[in-house]
Structure 1
Amino acid sequence: MLDMLNRWYQRRFSDPHAVSLVAILLGGFLTIYFFGNLIAPLLVAIVLAYLLEWPVMKLVRLGLPRTLAVMAVLLVFASLMVMAVFGLVPTIWHQVSNLIADVPNMFNGLQSFVSSLPERYPDFVQPHQVSTFMVTLREKVLGMGESVVKGSLASLISLATLAVYLILVPLLVFFLLKDKEEMISTFKRVLPQNRRLASKVGEEMNEQISNYIRGKVTEIFIVGIVSYVTFAVMDLRYAVLLGVLVGFSVLIPYIGAAVVTLPVAMVGLFQWGIGPDFWWLLVAYGIIQALDGNVLVPILFSEAVNLHPVAIIVAVLVFGGLWGFWGVFFAIPLATLVKAVWNALPPTQELVPAESVEE
């Protein structure tokens, strides 16, 4: 067994460049795993820097100095964010308040509907099953209420963290964009000299992550706006809130769409009951998800989606479990990174027996 492992190691890591690549990846993994919470503002700033690098480069190519280009792009971006916050957040907050106020009525309606099932389908649903279901559901609702209260109290504490983010993140984004080349040169000095494979993988992943972040933000906006317009045309309650939820659900491939289906269906069910409008809502929502997965995603992520759905779901579960939100957000690039590293490592070649060589 040890001999087999030793031969495998010699085949894969006889090249010092491969050892350097693995060492760099291991160092990055340990840094984010143990210090991810401490460097969270830096991670947010890096994501925004990747997002804003494209318009900065466009302005630089037009002849504008990089510092002025960075300042102009940040000013426009900050203005759009302020407009979105003051225009969208009050509406979302109002709809969340209305939804919370409607929860008791929704619960009563659900209880009446479930209680009528034994009469409608006596062969399939028994009264004791309904009672057990309602008791369990009531306990879950009460538990969710307690979680909301605790979350509200915790959010007061997180306001200080938000204030820190609002100060640190813009500064970090500015310097990451302005001094990009200097920072990259400084970072390269501390890396191992034998980093040919690491440079190859790094260049590939730099382009992948840049395209992925821009594509993911574009997908969030397109899916969110199309969902809101669809819900508004159908006169569905909480159209803005549900549209935002559907938009952000694309952050988690496959799983997000399945989870957000529940609130969309529940709101439609309590507003219209099981009728034509409810089924048209599900059809429209299904069309949006189908167009997103089969048309929009291949266009925006032509290279990144060259992964099997099982690999993407496993990446979401594994990296999300390791790094939480950031692991989920970067699940596809990280899965692509694993694939790129595996392809970059020297191929395994069977050792030629000594007898064959002598012959």
Structure 2
Amino acid sequence: MLEFLKSWYERKFSDPHAVTLFFLLIALVALLYFVGSLIIPVLVALVIAYLLEWPVIKLQNLGLARLSACASVMLLFAGVMIAVFVTMVPVLWQQAANLLQEAPSMLEQGKSFLMHLPERHPELINAQQIQNIVSNVESKVLEFGQQILSFSLTSLKDVVAWMIYLILVPLLVFFMLKDKIELTSGIETFLPKQRRLISQVWHEMNQQIMNYIRGKVIEIVIIGGASFIAFAIFDLRYAALLGVLVGLSVLIPFVGAALVTIPVAAVALFQFGLAPEFWYLLIAYGVIQVLDGNVLVPLLFSEAVDLNPVYIIVAVLFFGGLWGFWGVFFAIPLASLVRALLNAWTTEEKMIIKEA
């Protein structure tokens, strides 16, 4: 066993470049795990900077200076965000409040529907099973309501922090864009000279992360907009709120679509019953999800779709458990990073064997 471990170590870490890459990864993981919550504004700014780098480059290609391009893009981005906040947030807030007010009656209607199932289908289900289901659902709803209440009470203390973030994050984004070359050069000065594998992995992942963030934003807008239009055509209540939820659900691969189906189906069932409109709405919603998974995702994430769905789900569970929302958001790039690291180490091992 010891000989096997020694042989493995010599194959994987005989090159100082591989050792440098390994310890850099350990340091980054430890940094994010222990102080990740303290640097959330930096992470948010980094994501936005990646998103805005593409239009900045396009403006530079048109002959604009880097500073002017960054300023123009930041002004446009700020204007869009303010417009979205002013027009959408009040509507979403009102619809969310109305949905919470109607939630008890929706639950009672669902409870009544379930309690009559044993009368209609006694061969499939009995009253005791229905009672157990209803009890479990009621306890989960009560627990969820308590969590929402506690979150709203504790979030009041974070208002000042959010106000600070609203000032710090745009400033960080602007300087990350403007001083990109200086910042990357400064980081390189702290790295050891044996960084060939680090450069290899970085060049492989840098463009992929940029494409992923841009593609994910485009996917959220398209799927959310298409869902809102479909819900509005069927005159579904809370169409804007449900459309936003469907759009945001794409942040969690596979699982998000399944989770957001529950509120969509519940609201449609409460409004239409088992009428044809209910089934037509679910069919339209299913078509949107199918087009998203089979057309939109391959177009936007051509570099990531070759990952097996099992790897993606494992990445969502693992990185989400480590870093919460950001782990889920970056699950696919992080899984691709692991693959790039394995490819780099495998390539390095083959080169060492060939030289030997």
TM-score, normalization: structure 1?
0.95
Secondary structure of the residue that 1:25 maps to in structure 2?
helix
Following superposition, the deviation at residue 128 of structure 1 comes to: 2.2
Alpha-carbon distance between aligned partners in 2 of 1:135 and 1:202, rounded to the nearest angstrom: 52
Extract unaligned runs of 5+ from structure 2. none
Partner of 1:243: 243
**Pairwise mapping of residues 307-346 of structure 1 onto structure 2 (< 5 A)?**
307-346=307-346
Partner of 2:132: 132
**After alignment, is 186-195 or 132-141 more displaced?**
132-141
In structure 2, what residue type is equivalent to 1:98?
Answer: N
Partner of 1:77: 77
| Percentage of identical aligned residues | 56
Partner of 1:204: 204
RMSD (Å), alpha carbons: 1.5
In structure 2, what residue type is equivalent to 1:18?
Answer: A
Partner of 2:98: 98
Partner of 1:299: 299
Partner of 1:194: 194
Question: Higher helix share goes to which structure?
Answer: 2
Extract unaligned runs of 5+ from structure 1. none
In structure 2, what residue type is equivalent to 1:243?
Answer: G
**Pairwise mapping of residues 1-359 of structure 1 onto structure 2 (< 5 A)?**
1-347=1-347
Following superposition, the deviation at residue 141 of structure 1 comes to: 2.3
Secondary structure of the residue that 2:191 maps to in structure 1?
coil
Secondary structure of the residue that 2:236 maps to in structure 1?
coil
In structure 1, what residue type is equivalent to 2:159?
Answer: L
Deviations 1:41-83 (A, max 9, x none): 0000000000001111111122222111111110000000000
Deviations 1:219-249 (A, max 9, x none): 0000000000011001111100000000000
Following superposition, the deviation at residue 346 of structure 1 comes to: 4.0
Alpha-carbon distance between aligned partners in 1 of 2:12 and 2:131, rounded to the nearest angstrom: 61
Secondary structure of the residue that 1:274 maps to in structure 2?
coil
Alpha-carbon distance between aligned partners in 1 of 2:255 and 2:77, rounded to the nearest angstrom: 30
Alpha-carbon distance between aligned partners in 1 of 2:265 and 2:168, rounded to the nearest angstrom: 40
In structure 1, what residue type is equivalent to 2:212?
Answer: Y
Following superposition, the deviation at residue 132 of structure 1 comes to: 2.6
Alpha-carbon distance between aligned partners in 2 of 1:142 and 1:26, rounded to the nearest angstrom: 41
In structure 2, what residue type is equivalent to 1:104?
Answer: P
Alpha-carbon distance between aligned partners in 2 of 1:346 and 1:259, rounded to the nearest angstrom: 38
In structure 2, what residue type is equivalent to 1:142?
Answer: L
Alpha-carbon distance between aligned partners in 2 of 1:124 and 1:26, rounded to the nearest angstrom: 54
Aligned length: 352
Greater than 3 Å deviation, 4+ residue runs: 346-349
